């Protein structure tokens, strides 16, 4: 119980000793906001499961359509005596093959190993909370820019290796 001289000068009603007083407010909402996290949850059945099933159907349809419209490549029987020029790795390794054309060790071993190690270390370096679940969160712009730069370089090298490399790995125009 505070001393009389510490009391506020304005009292809307006489305060009773032995009781605690809180300030309440009326807000426009459908339910008491005591546990909001629960209110933002929905039943996985059917909300999530129906969406997941639909996505499966769409994936099957798109791939089936591709399989009906486009034939997988099949060249002549493998002949170890007649290498094509240029011989190219699968498309997802063409960025690395492009690097290999500059330096065999760095392109084939060094840079891929470093990229994997840095990727593995990323969440342990960037460990402070903030920006989770938000696309391009401002607080993470540095990390995102580094990541996008690496991805951009790899994408650029892959495009060059796929479309702009001809005989003897010389730079050619694809048209």
CA atoms within 13 A of residue 80's CA, in its CB half-sphere: 0
Name which of 13 and 70 has its Cβ closer to other proteins. 70
Name which of 24 and 72 has its Cβ closer to other proteins. 72
- C-alpha–C-alpha distance, residues 78 and 90, integer Å: 16
Task: Assess 167 for contact with other proteins (CB under 8 A).
Answer: no
Residues 6 or more apart whose Cβ sits within 8 Å of residue 38: none
123-162: which residues touch other proteins (CB under 8 A)? 123-124, 126-127, 129-137, 140, 143-144, 147-148, 151
**Of 2-10, 15-23, 26-34, 66-74: span binding other proteins (CB under 8 A):** 66-74
Closest CA to 89 of 162, 147, 3: 162
Closest CA to 75 of 84, 66, 62: 84
Phi (first) and psi of residue 135, to 5 degrees: -65, 130
Task: Assess 30 for contact with other proteins (CB under 8 A).
Answer: no
Name which of 4 and 80 has its Cβ closer to other proteins. 80
91-110: which residues touch other proteins (CB under 8 A)? 91-93, 96-97, 100, 104-105, 107-109
Task: Assess 61 for contact with other proteins (CB under 8 A).
Answer: no
Name which of 39 and 172 has its Cβ closer to other proteins. 39
Task: Assess 7 for contact with other proteins (CB under 8 A).
Answer: no
Distances (CA, A) of 22 to 15, 19, 25, 125: 12, 10, 10, 44
């Amino acid at each position: 119980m505070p001393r009389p001289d510490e009391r506020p000068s304005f009292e809307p009603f006489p305060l009773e000793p032995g009781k605690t007083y809180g300030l309440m407010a009326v807000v426009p909402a459908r339910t008491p906001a005591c546990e909001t996290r629960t209110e933002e949850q929905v039943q996985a059945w059917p909300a999530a499961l129906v969406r997941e099933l639909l996505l499966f159907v769409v994936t099957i349809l798109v791939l089936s359509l591709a399989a009906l419209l486009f034939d997988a490549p099949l060249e002549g029987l493998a002949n170890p005596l007649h290498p094509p020029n240029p011989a190219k790795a699968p498309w997802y390794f063409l960025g690395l093959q492009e690097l290999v054309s500059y330096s065999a060790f760095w392109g084939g071993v060094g840079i891929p190993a470093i990229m994997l190690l840095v990727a593995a270390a990323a969440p342990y370096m960037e460990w402070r909370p903030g920006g989770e679940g938000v696309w391009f969160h401002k607080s993470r712009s540095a990390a995102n820019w580094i990541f996008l730069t690496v991805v951009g370089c790899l994408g650029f090298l892959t495009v060059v290796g796929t479309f702009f490399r001809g005989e003897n790995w010389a730079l050619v125009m694809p048209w």
